[in-house]
């Protein structure tokens, strides 16, 4: 594991201002390579989609999730235990923060990526999840699937309703490399561009402040709907006014 020093206070301040922060070379290439091999072996080249067709079509999101720790794959525990990641998480979420789960997201070439969304409704600014995204392989232009974020949008309330994909003023393109850590506030408007020439992988160690309900990410906000994963149901149609 990489032991390079990090400036916890600066990173936490950037996160507070922007709702996301990208730290290159946070994890060393060898440990990332090990996880990447496990992930690619698990998925093979032709994974089935996991969500139903209504979700896939309406959300314009094509990603296959895997929860390796729930299946006892111990190789993923090392990241969770990393003292620098824990120090950063505490600086952002405060004492008593909790890990939620580790979710690998896999996308095949030629799929649409993920439309703009917020991981949970921003109805209460204090109720949110923190995405701790670890990249085990480069997101190059050849792979596609760059992550888009709107800086400061974690403080702008609801993602505006409308067409699922669009451009927002001030949106920023992230191109994480192997070993990059991206910390992303669940209320921050974010999107993954279509996947181009190779499979795309990201691994999300979700966490939340003390007292946050375990199911805080059950309802996801898209520009055209709110969707509840536990019941696979559209719980609100959203129309631009």
For ligand AKG, the closer CB: 7 or 97: 97
Maximal CA-CA distance, the chain:
50
**Cβ of residue 129: shortest distance to ligand AKG, in angstroms?**
9
- For residue 219, the minimal CB distance to ligand AKG (Å) is 13
Minimum CB distance to ligand AKG, residue 190 (Å): 5
Separation of alpha carbons 147 and 114, rounded Å: 9
Cβ closest to ligand AKG, residue 89 vs residue 147: 147
* Edge-to-edge order in the sheet of strand 98-107: 20-23, 181-185, 130-134, 200-208, 98-107, 64-66
Q: In the chain, where does DSSP find H-type helix? A: 8-18, 29-43, 53-59, 77-80, 83-93
Query: Among residues 88 and 221, whose Cβ is nearest to ligand AKG?
Result: 221
- Between CA 19 and CA 33 the distance in angstroms is 28
- Give whichever of 62 and 119 is closer to ligand AKG, judged by the CB atom: 119
Q: Which is nearer to ligand AKG, 59 or 204 (CB)?
A: 204
Residues 174 and 147 sit within 8 Å (Cβ to Cβ): yes
CB of 133 to ligand AKG, least distance (A): 5
Nearest position to ligand AKG, beta carbon: 202
3-state secondary structure of 192: strand
**Interface residues with ligand AKG (CB under 6 A)?**
105, 114, 119, 131, 133, 147, 190, 192, 202, 204
Least separation in angstroms between residue 203's CB and ligand AKG is 9
């Amino acid at each position: 594991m990489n032991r390079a020093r990090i400036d916890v206070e600066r990173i936490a301040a950037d996160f507070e201002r922007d709702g996301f922060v990208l730290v290159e070379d946070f994890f060393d290439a060898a440990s990332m390579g090990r996880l990447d091999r496990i992930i690619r072996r698990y998925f093979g080249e032709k994974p089935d989609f996991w969500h139903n067709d209504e979700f896939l079509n309406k959300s314009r999101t094509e990603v296959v999730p895997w929860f390796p720790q729930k299946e006892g794959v111990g190789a993923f525990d090392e990241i969770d235990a990393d003292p620098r990641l824990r120090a950063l998480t505490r600086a952002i979420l405060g004492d008593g923060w909790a890990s939620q789960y580790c979710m690998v997201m896999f996308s095949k070439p030629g799929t649409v990526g993920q439309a703009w969304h917020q991981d949970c409704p921003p109805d209460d600014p204090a109720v949110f999840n923190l995405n701790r995204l670890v990249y085990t392989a480069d997101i190059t232009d050849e792979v596609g699937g760059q992550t888009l974020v709107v800086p400061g949008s974690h403080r702008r309330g609801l993602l505006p309703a409308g067409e699922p994909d669009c451009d927002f003023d001030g949106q920023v393109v992230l191109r994480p490399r192997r070993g990059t850590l991206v910390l992303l506030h669940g209320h921050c408007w974010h999107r993954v561009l279509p996947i181009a020439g190779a499979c795309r992988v990201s691994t999300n160690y979700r966490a939340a402040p003390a007292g946050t309900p375990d199911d805080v990410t059950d309802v996801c906000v898209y520009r055209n709907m709110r969707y509840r994963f536990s019941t696979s149901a559209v719980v609100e149609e959203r129309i631009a006014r």
